[in-house]
Amino acid sequence: MQNIYTVPKELHGGQPWLNQRFWNEKLEKRITGSQAAAIHGEHKYTTPADYAVELLASAPPVPKAQNDAMRRGTILEAPLMGWAGEILNETITEPSELYCYEESGVRLLATMDGRSLGGKFYELKTYNKRWTGQLSRTWYWQGVHQAICTGSHEINWIIFDSDLQLQFHTQTVTSDEKQIHIEAARKFLGFIDMGMMPDIADPTYDNASTLYPEGYGNTVVLGHEIYASLELLAQAREQKRQAEATEELIKGELAMLLQDAEYGAVDGTQVVSWKNSKRTSFDTKRFEQEHPALAEKFKKTTTFRTMRIIAKEAK
């Protein structure tokens, strides 16, 4: 049974806001609009494994400092929305609620940047490139997700692009598109609810390290097929070592040609630079020597795991 509803939106970016995005009142994990493309393997920045690791965590993420793109969007959102309202002759306000969609095995949540008095929904983006009129796949799936959660069939995009102009795009979302996304969410969340990595995900070493940050001295029984993976790992490490050695030799050759020059040019065109840089670092050793008690107070122990090949297959 389908259920579309709203919940009051907590202060953007705070822990209560992160909590309500992470799970519903039954503490069931749900998928958000900004990550919707990840469950299709089409998100520009988030892989299916990245998002699975986030949802498989036992607790919601904690607030983090905004990056430049997020900060730019936050600062410009209100004036840009007002400007768009003037152009469209619409009164557009930021909704004070989050939009939710639930049915058996499916839990979706969307945040909308704006809603008009006539009930149109708006999504605002600041874009550091020229708008071409085509939604990226990341934005496309976000729009489909938002249409499902709001019970609408169109999302109106407002894009402030590198030309410093507002561009407008109406995304019409069909019932078929909605159903494709709903079924992808059902499958993805099915794995998450079982505490498993979805079959669409290819976890990296970083993903696995996040899921299992600490070992406990136990041993898991593996099959003989693991030797093929160990051999590939050994080969990859040797190739990396050789590539790094080659890089150092080539950089040394170029550096000897540049000598004390900061740039190298071919036919008047600069092709390589070797510029001065400065780095300020904290002298930990000296600080520990001169202020041992204070240094001890601020020491922090971090647990991490290191993977090594212990034995290869006997020939």
- Residue pLDDT, tens place only, 46-71: 999 999 999 999 999 998 877 777 77
- Beta-carbon contacts of 186 under 8 Å, excluding residues fewer than 6 positions away, are 104, 105, 106
Q: Quick check: is 264 in a domain?
A: no
Q: Is residue 39 within 8 Å of 30, Cβ to Cβ? A: no
Over the chain, what is the mean pLDDT? 94
Q: Quick check: is 158 in a domain?
A: yes
In this structure, the dihedral spanned by the alpha carbons of residues 57, 60, 63 and 67, taken in order and rounded to 10 degrees, is: 60
Q: Quick check: is 286 in a domain?
A: no
pLDDT confidence tier of residue 250, bands split at 50, 70 and 90: very high
Pairing of strands 106-110, 31-32: parallel
Count CB atoms within 10 A of the CB of residue 193: 13
Tens digits of residue pLDDT in 127-157: 889 999 999 999 999 999 999 999 999 999 9
Q: Quick check: is 219 in a domain?
A: no
The string of DSSP codes covering the chain is --EEEEEEPPPTTSHHHHHHHHB-TT--B-EEGGGGGGGGT--SS--HHHHHHHHHSSSPPPP----HHHHHHHHHHHHHHHHHHHHHT--EE--SEEEEEEETTEEEEE--SEEETTS-EEEEEE-SS---S---HHHHHHHHHHHHHHT-SEEEEEEE-TTS-EEEEEEE--HHHHHHHHHHHHHHHHHHHTT---TT----HHHHHHH-----S------TTHHHHHHHHHHHHHHHHHHHHHHHHHHHHHHHHHTT-SEEEETTEEEEE----------HHHHHHH-HHHHHHT-------------PPP-
Distance, in Å, from the CA atom of 126 to the CA atom of 109, rounded to the nearest integer, reads 22
Q: Quick check: is 314 in a domain?
A: no
Q: Quick check: is 280 in a domain?
A: no
Q: Quick check: is 308 in a domain?
A: no
- pTM for the whole thing? 0.84
- Residue 15, domain extent: 3-209
Domain count, the chain: 1
Q: What is the mean pLDDT of residues 282-286?
A: 90
Strand partners, 184: none
Closest CA to 31 of 147, 184, 150, 178: 184
Provide the CATH number for the domain around residue 100.
3.90.320.10
Tens digits of residue pLDDT in 209-237: 999 999 999 999 999 999 999 999 999 99
pLDDT confidence tier of residue 312, bands split at 50, 70 and 90: confident
Closest CA to 20 of 112, 74, 98: 98
Q: Quick check: is 266 in a domain?
A: no
Q: Which two tokens stand for residue 223?
A: 């099959």
